[in-house]
């Protein structure tokens, strides 16, 4: 039997290597999880080690002529032997597989499982949950008595911070003049713009204006005009690219201009293309995609992918107070390598908006967990 060892990050990847090398008839003889030391003994790197084998039978090459008579005279005999050999090999393979099935290398404690279930309830994806579970398992089973004991939340926080390390957090940079806010209908986009604009006026003392391209809904225009009136800011209504150019000229002496795009069903490509034709995405424009945290993660993925050709700076998540699915926000940020500018948690303007940080996001994720522990 031909045997070979394979290493990979996941079992799926290891199996792919086995199939590519040995074929579908390969037998898994052994598998185990191997850890390499990480920083201060924490956050060890996990690899899967698999030993696979394959029955190998080769017939030496012989000249054709000497074999012809032998093949003719013994064909029936070979058919019988071949049939018996295949059956025997099949029986052996089944026996080996039954004896050498991979065994579970670890079993989480009830406390760890309970904590991981909390993360599942908040829709953290299984890959992250596995990483967190492995770290918790290693920490709980650490023999070194001098090692500082960390809480489950602290360990999970470190894993999630590591996963989010490359995505930007924080609100408006105030380095670009035009703030373009995109998003589907029903996510609270206009109210979010009003909150951002109010902070720019009241805290940063900026001279601001508004542009709206949402000419499909009269109510949306009136809502924006109401907010603009409270902030003593003008509103320009734009129907086409020429109007947009004129509005930019009108606001040439302003500090910031907030652009409220039409709320449409952006699962349809034609509506996304309409936005591209209308708005000038140039160096002086900062774009944000607004999503409702109450939406299904798959639906949000569809919207994000429709806007993949846009220069989106960061996400803004609304209605964080109406959902427990904070994990979906984290999953999407990691998957699309996009940061978080703000999250909103109510309808009050300008109060219910929060400039995001990794700490505030994880505090939001673990709020219910901490409430349960303190009660």
- Same-domain status, 214 and 354: yes
Give the residue, 374 or 152, on which the prediction is more confident: 152
Among the ranges given (51-60, 65-74, 168-177), the one the predictor scored with the smallest mean pLDDT? 65-74
- Same-domain status, 207 and 255: yes
- Same-domain status, 216 and 354: yes
- Give me the DSSP letters along 312-357: EEEEEEE-GGG-S-HHHHHHHHHHHT-EEEEEE-SS-TTTSEEE--
- Same-domain status, 142 and 199: no
> Considering the domain boundaries, does residue 66 fall inside one?
no
Q: Span 169-190, mean pLDDT?
A: 90
> Considering the domain boundaries, does residue 323 fall inside one?
yes
Domain count, the chain: 3
**Helix locations, 49-180, DSSP H:** 64-99, 110-121, 126-140, 152-163
- Same-domain status, 304 and 234: yes
Q: For 272-293, what is each residue's pLDDT tens digit? A: 777 767 776 677 889 999 999 9
- Same-domain status, 117 and 264: no
Q: Which of 133, 163, 193 is the last residue of a domain?
A: 163
- Same-domain status, 156 and 183: no
- Same-domain status, 229 and 364: yes
Q: What angle do CA 238, 241, 244 make, to 5 degrees?
A: 50
16 neighbors 6 (Cβ within 8 angstroms): no
> Considering the domain boundaries, does residue 74 fall inside one?
no
> Considering the domain boundaries, does residue 237 fall inside one?
yes
- Same-domain status, 249 and 366: yes
Give the residue, 9 or 257, on which the prediction is more confident: 257
Residue 35 pLDDT:
66
- Same-domain status, 132 and 250: no
Strand bridging mode 312-318 / 208-212? unpaired
What secondary structure letter does DSSP report for 164? T
> Considering the domain boundaries, does residue 63 fall inside one?
no
- Strand, helix or coil for residue 299: helix
Residue 101 pLDDT:
46
Confidence of residue 270 (pLDDT cuts 50, 70, 90): low
Query: In which order are the strands placed within the sheet that holds 45-54?
Result: 2-8, 45-54, 27-36
Confidence of residue 310 (pLDDT cuts 50, 70, 90): confident
> Considering the domain boundaries, does residue 86 fall inside one?
no
Residues β-bridged to residue 236: 211
- Same-domain status, 159 and 185: no
Structural domain boundaries, residue 148: 110-163
Q: Span 340-369, mean pLDDT?
A: 91
pLDDT at 345 over 60: yes
Separation CA 302–CA 317 (nearest Å) = 15
- Strand, helix or coil for residue 307: coil
pLDDT at 103 over 50: no
Separation CA 347–CA 55 (nearest Å) = 67
- Same-domain status, 281 and 356: yes
Q: Which of 10, 40, 56 is the last residue of a domain?
A: 56
Q: Whole-model pTM?
A: 0.68
Cis, peptide link before residue 259, omega less than 30° from 0:
no
Average per-residue pLDDT for the chain: 80
CATH of the domain at 357: 3.40.50.300
pLDDT at 372 over 60: yes
Residues β-bridged to residue 49: 7, 32
Nearest to 325 by CA among 164, 117, 127, 121: 121
> Considering the domain boundaries, does residue 274 fall inside one?
yes
pLDDT at 48 over 70: yes
């Amino acid at each position: 039997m031909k045997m070979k060892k394979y290493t990979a990050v996941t079992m799926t990847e290891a199996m792919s290597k086995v199939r590519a090398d040995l074929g579908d008839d390969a037998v898994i003889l052994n598998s185990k999880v191997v850890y390499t030391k990480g920083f201060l003994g924490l956050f060890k790197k996990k690899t899967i080690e698999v030993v696979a084998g394959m029955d190998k039978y080769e017939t030496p090459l012989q000249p054709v002529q000497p074999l012809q008579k032998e093949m003719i005279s013994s064909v029936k005999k070979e058919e019988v032997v071949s049939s018996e050999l295949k059956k025997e090999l099949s029986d052996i393979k089944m026996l080996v597989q039954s004896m050498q099935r991979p065994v579970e290398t670890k079993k989480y404690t009830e406390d760890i499982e309970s904590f991981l279930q909390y993360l599942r309830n908040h829709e953290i994806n299984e890959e992250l949950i596995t990483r967190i579970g492995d770290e918790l398992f290693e920490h709980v089973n650490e023999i070194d008595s001098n090692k500082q004991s960390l809480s489950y939340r602290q360990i999970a926080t470190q894993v999630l911070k590591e996963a989010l390390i490359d995505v930007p957090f924080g609100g408006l940079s105030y380095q670009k003049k035009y703030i373009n806010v995109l998003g589907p209908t029903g996510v609270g986009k206009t109210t979010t713009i009003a909150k951002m604009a109010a902070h720019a006026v009241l805290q940063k003392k900026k001279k601001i204006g508004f542009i709206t391209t949402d000419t499909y809904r009269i109510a949306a225009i009136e809502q924006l005009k109401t907010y603009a009136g409270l902030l003593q800011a003008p509103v320009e209504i734009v129907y086409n690219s020429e109007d947009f150019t004129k509005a930019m000229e009108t606001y040439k002496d302003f500090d910031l201009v907030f652009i409220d795009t039409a709320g449409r069903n952006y699962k349809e490509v034609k509506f996304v293309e309409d936005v591209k034709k209308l708005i000038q995405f140039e160096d002086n424009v900062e774009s944000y995609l607004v999503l409702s945290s109450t939406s299904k993660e798959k639906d949000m993925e569809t919207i994000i992918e429709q806007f993949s050709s846009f220069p989106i700076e960061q996400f803004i998540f609304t209605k964080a107070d109406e959902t427990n699915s904070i994990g979906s926000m984290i999953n999407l940020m990691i998957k699309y390598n996009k940061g978080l500018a703000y999250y909103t948690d109510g309808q009050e303007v300008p109060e219910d908006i929060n400039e995001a940080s990794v700490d505030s996001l994880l505090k939001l994720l673990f709020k219910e967990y901490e409430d349960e522990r303190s009660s």
